[in-house]
Chains A and B, each alone.
Chain A
């Protein structure tokens, strides 16, 4: 890769840091260690006083080197401006890294943990620093094995490694959003494409309506100049005049009637199209949402997601039905009337049209301002709905702690914030509107000032000069027809901005790319045997803290694995990875020998069953809940499954039997009942791989026994991963995996693990036995 210092790359432009190790620093390092090429380098961007200032770290075949600009020297410059310190890798016993809130630091430690050096850096450097740490550790390992002198595998491109490491987060963020070149409104209009015919009808009607509106003032002019005035002057006979009069009135009536019909057709057609489009949008948004990964839902309050599917899409209906066509129509009318005005009298027309550019500028500036205001309101609004969706599911806790008043107050605060924000908005546009009106009224006055004297002159001169009365009247009529759509557009700018805010919320969901997606060539997963293998799996939710580190194991089909260890050890994360709710950061997970990332997600998950600590039941009957995920199960299958789950007895005890409706989240049932229904669900689903996440942790002993029996039936013949805190519940497990701080520290059978006197499992077991003994006493 050729370096081109004149052009700035993405690291420079997006993150404001050098694209690569500065040449002067590289030279300074080369002077210190003449025969050692740099293998890896990274930037530590905080100095000792925690100011942004570069310290470069480089790893050569035998040293870790720090290079920082000398005091007073500007970064860059020449090699002599850089101070360098080298540490022989042989002397570095270990390298430790720590995370603060925003500052991370890495310490090089010699024997007996004597610190050699510490560098501080921000998270964006974390990956590159990790590369440096890894390389140094690798070299050290090889030195020990080969008794010194072994170099790191060649063919390294330090510059490329550094750039990739620094840019990874940025690239991931960019990949998480599809780039949309189209403007929001245009994109919304693209939804009209399937309804071309209806939209065309709506359009035609609107254009015709506009034309129909242009006729009446012209009729006024005919009435005055060709009928009334000639009769007054005596140049037109009465019978002739009446014939003309009735024809004019008839034309007016016909125009009005036509206008009515057209407006009816337009409204009917567009209201229905609008509803269809918002339905399609809701369908798309909800459909896409279901495809998105768990991480997307984890980072957003439920309330804002509900708002996007429901009220945001509804707001778009308004726009499609009325707003869009109205806007186009108003545009047409303005153009049409402008032409009519010029045709009547161009000099007067100028007085009306002159302020239009000013108004357009005003509307534009105001629109920009509104956009910001609506975004602010939207944020307040979703923070208000977030309170609702947070509190209502937890209403039992609220009542139990008698916090109703507190919750009401919390909601009212958010509600008030919405109102205050809206007040700012209303103040803005009510301030804006009178200015537009004033401009309009000034123009009206101007037309009278210029026009009326000319009409008077026309009358005094007997038509020799000036302007006929009819033209003046028609002109005034047209002028109002001109202001009316301008006013409408102005009013609409508020609605349009509101719609663009809503539309952008909706499109934001549609533009989010699922982080877990099928590969394009992913074939449907064949029926699984159930072999699960982890190979050096490392995982992190936030890309910073590793929740699983280098986990490796192999589970044969039908084996039952108990996962034990302190909470936060990574047990749930491990099963989440088997379900492929997330993708590994490093290493691979293989199911039946195939990388899970190559399998079709849907058909993979259909073969995995999950029984959770808090079973989630949906609103519906017991039978529907058992058959969830197994469409087409017969009633006999449902009952068999319930029987195997020890649930049949109590379900038959309900007056409505299997047709008992359980409320949302199954609140009408007891914890043990819910649990057994969810076990029945898993039995009916008949997965090849089963995950039990603390399935028996929240029930009494009697119920636990029943659940244990049910689980035993469920587990047989399936690869099972069971998480449990009570070790006694894992008696059926073939092997136990002990996870601590993300590492698989022990594995083996119950007896094997007990045999390790200082093992974690032996310790946990001992504590629990003691606890049981105390309870027994």
Chain B
């Protein structure tokens, strides 16, 4: 594994992927497509971001994204935000039983969403008050802070709250 070398990080975006430019050892440069993978996606997305090539080999480890030059940081963050995107539930309009499944009608920060969960699959608590709902398609929905939701949503969710 290479040393953390955040200042010498030469990244660009070709419209779909991140490309890491490095010396190829013979005087020239080569560009490798990389993925930015945070080690702690749920609790600390700005720290310990691993840059890996397409085979999953780590090329760089960024310990603190805030210490990376602004332009590069924005580039990495835009890629992270796609990888880490989880719709946040801002209101629950209804949870109804439908054919042994729970049908949720919710409002999220990405727009309204209807999804179904298994009757026996409870939202997972992330331990810091956040709750993660998984639907039958394995899609995830985050409830950031149940206490700030409106009364109706809280009443519907109360059965799951910790």
Contacts and interface: CB of A to CB of B under 8 A. Distances in A.
A174 B138 contact: no
A755 B157 CA distance: 62
B140 A170 contact: no
A107 B83 contact: no
Contacts of A15: 114-116
A179 B84 contact: no
Nearest to A173: B136
Interface string A27-64: 00000000000000000001000111100000000000
Contacts, number: 108
B23 interface: no
A170 B139 CA distance: 12
Contacts of A123: 137-139
Contact of B100 (A98, A179, A542): A179
A126 to B, nearest CB: 8
Given A15-B114, A123-B137, A379-B122, A115 B14 contact: yes
Given A173-B136, A174-B99, A179-B100, A14 B114 contact: yes
Contact of A14 (B16, B103, B140): B103
Given A103-B82, A115-B17, A179-B99, A169 B136 contact: yes
A177 B119 contact: yes
Nearest to B13: A115
Interface string B151-162: 000000011001
A17 B115 CA distance: 10
A16 interface: yes
B110 interface: yes
Nearest to A113: B33
Nearest to B122: A379
B15 interface: yes
B8 to A, nearest CB: 24
B9 to A, nearest CB: 21
Contacts of A13: 98, 103
Contact of B159 (A51, A375, A508): A375
A239 interface: no
A18 to B, nearest CB: 12
Interface string A78-115: 00000000000000000000101111010101000111
B110 A101 contact: no
Nearest to A52: B111
B162 A115 contact: no
A442 interface: no
A145 to B, nearest CB: 27
Nearest to B103: A14
A157 B63 CA distance: 51
A417 B162 contact: yes
Given A14-B116, A173-B118, A372 B159 contact: yes
Nearest to B55: A741
Contacts of A120: 82
A173 B17 contact: no
Nearest to A543: B138
B112 to A, nearest CB: 7
A299 to B, nearest CB: 9
Contacts of B140: 101-102
Interface in B124-162: 135-141, 158-159, 162
Nearest to A109: B16
A2 B63 CA distance: 57
A107 B15 CA distance: 10
Contact of B101 (A53, A122, A174, A542): A174
B21 to A, nearest CB: 15
Contacts of B110: 46, 50-52
B109 to A, nearest CB: 8
- B interface bracket (residues with beta carbon within 8 Å of A): 35 or more
A123 B114 CA distance: 14
Contacts of A508: 119-120
B86 interface: yes
Given A123-B137, A173-B101, A115 B41 contact: no
A376 interface: yes
A207 B96 CA distance: 40
Given A101-B140, A123-B137, A52 B112 contact: yes
A105 B82 contact: yes
A173 B116 contact: yes
Interface string B67-101: 00000000000000111111100000000001111
Contacts of A376: 159
Given A14-B103, A169-B137, A417-B162, A107 B116 contact: no
Please indicate which of the listed interface residues B101, B137, B139 has the most CB atoms of chain A within 10 Å of its own CB.
Answer: B137
Contacts of A170: 101, 116, 136-137
A120 B137 CA distance: 16
Interface in A645-695: none
Contact of A103 (B85, B100, B118, B138): B85
Contacts of A100: 82-85
A101 B41 contact: yes
A264 B108 CA distance: 61
Nearest to A166: B137
B55 to A, nearest CB: 8
Contacts of B135: 124
Contact of A124 (B100, B103, B137): B137
B50 to A, nearest CB: 15
Interface in A140-181: 169-170, 172-174, 176-177, 179
A130 to B, nearest CB: 13
Given A102-B86, A169-B137, A16 B114 contact: yes
Contacts of A375: 159
B30 interface: no
A51 B86 CA distance: 11
Contacts of A46: 85, 110
A521 B83 CA distance: 46
Interface in A115-143: 115, 118, 120, 122-124, 126
A732 interface: no
Contact of A101 (B33, B83, B159): B83
A272 interface: no
A544 interface: yes
Contact of B15 (A14, A115, A124): A115
Given A15-B116, A52-B112, A179-B99, A169 B138 contact: yes
Interface string A1-30: 000000000000111110000000000000
Contacts of B138: 123, 169, 542-544
A13 B16 CA distance: 34
Contacts of B100: 174, 177, 179
A113 B15 CA distance: 11
15 contacts: A13-B103, A15-B116, A50-B81, A100-B83, A101-B83, A102-B140, A107-B16, A115-B17, A122-B139, A124-B137, A173-B116, A174-B100, A176-B118, A179-B100, A417-B162
Interface of B: 14-17, 33, 35, 41, 81-87, 98-101, 103, 105, 108, 110-116, 118-120, 122, 135-141, 158-159, 162
Given A13-B103, A14-B116, A508-B119, 5 more contacts: A50-B85, A101-B140, A103-B85, A113-B17, A122-B137
- Considering the complex of A and B, which 8 residue pairs feature the smallest CB-CB distances, nearest first? A16-B114, A115-B16, A124-B137, A52-B111, A173-B136, A100-B83, A103-B85, A169-B137
